[in-house]
Amino acid sequence: DAKTTQPPSMDCAEGRAANLPCNHSTISGNEYVYWYRQIHSQGPQYIIHGLKNNETNEMASLIITEDRKSSTLILPHATLRDTAVYYCIVRGGSNYKLTFGKGTLLTVNP
Amino acid sequence: NAGVTQTPKFQVLKTGQSMTLQCAQDMNHEYMSWYRQDPGMGLRLIHYSVGAGITDQGEVPNGYNVSRSTTEDFPLRLLSAAPSQTSVYFCASSYSGRPPGANVLTFGAGSRLTVL
């Protein structure tokens, strides 16, 4: 199973872009990168996923490097409500042991 | 469409007591899993299931039992609760083996367990 590495915490000013990195150097060819976030003590929520192309939805953008060993989640205009723990995981094929790790605590400051 | 429902939301047990955390989903998801979350430890996988009658261990399975007799339900059993099992427990489900956009995990709201 591919593992991911994320910084434990990051700060961002309200209205600015938040760029959250994730390293997944052992990702295999059929594994996708998924991002989730957990606000306070709620259950984690899905944000976005991708394989090798950049992806964008109404919440965020996902940039995956050409070698697929790392990715960046971009929140284009962070708000105070985006303060949360963000998790990057990889999943694909017969990988059912989905490990989340500790994620990155993003704090958006006014 | 209720999504993933966990009960109870809060529970206090004494050491040695047994209990079952319930998890039900109404999305016909094949994959279901249980995580525990302790302060500073992130989410750790306890057990998971890829379909009725099929279960497997995650990272921290000791002290917990699971079974999957139906697609909808995936209960987590603590046979003899210990203070080390004080935690917040999350159940999650998803489709399995389908296009990746369908394999998104849906989480329940969590069950907070305290063992005295």
Mean pLDDT for B62-87 is 96
Point out the residue among A43, A45, A101 whose CB comes nearest to the CB of B42: A101
The predicted structure's pLDDT at residue A2? 58
Distance of residue B56 Cα from the nearest chain A Cα, in angstroms: 9
H/E run at residue B31: strand B31-38
Point out the residue among A32, A36, A101 whose CB comes nearest to the CB of B100: A32
The predicted structure's pLDDT at residue B14? 97
The answer to whether the CB of B22 falls within 8 A of the CB of B75 is: yes
Q: Which residue has the higher pLDDT, A68 or B97?
A: A68
The predicted structure's pLDDT at residue B88? 97
Distance of residue A75 Cα from the nearest chain B Cα, in angstroms: 20
What is the C-alpha separation between A70 and A58, in angstroms, rounded? 22
- φ/ψ (deg, to 5) at B85: -95, 5
Which residues in chain B are closer than 8 Å to A36, comparing Cβ atoms? Answer: 105
**Interface residue of A40, A100, A102 to substitute, partner B, most B CBs within 10 Å:** A100
The predicted structure's pLDDT at residue B16? 97
DSSP structural state of residue B99: -
A-B interface: how many C-beta pairs under 8 angstroms? 63
pLDDT digits (tens, 9 = 90+) for B21-65: 999 999 999 999 999 999 878 899 999 999 999 999 999 999 999
DSSP code per residue over A2-63: ---B--SEEEEETTS-EEEEEE-TT--TTPEEEEEEE-TTSPPEEEEEESSS-EE-SS-EEE
Q: Each residue's pLDDT tens digit in chain A (110 positions)? A: 558 999 999 999 999 999 999 999 999 888 899 999 999 889 999 999 999 989 999 999 999 999 999 999 999 999 999 999 999 998 876 677 788 888 999 999 99
| Amino acid code (one letter) for A44 | P
Which residues in chain B are closer than 8 Å to A43, comparing Cβ atoms? Answer: 4, 90, 92, 107-110
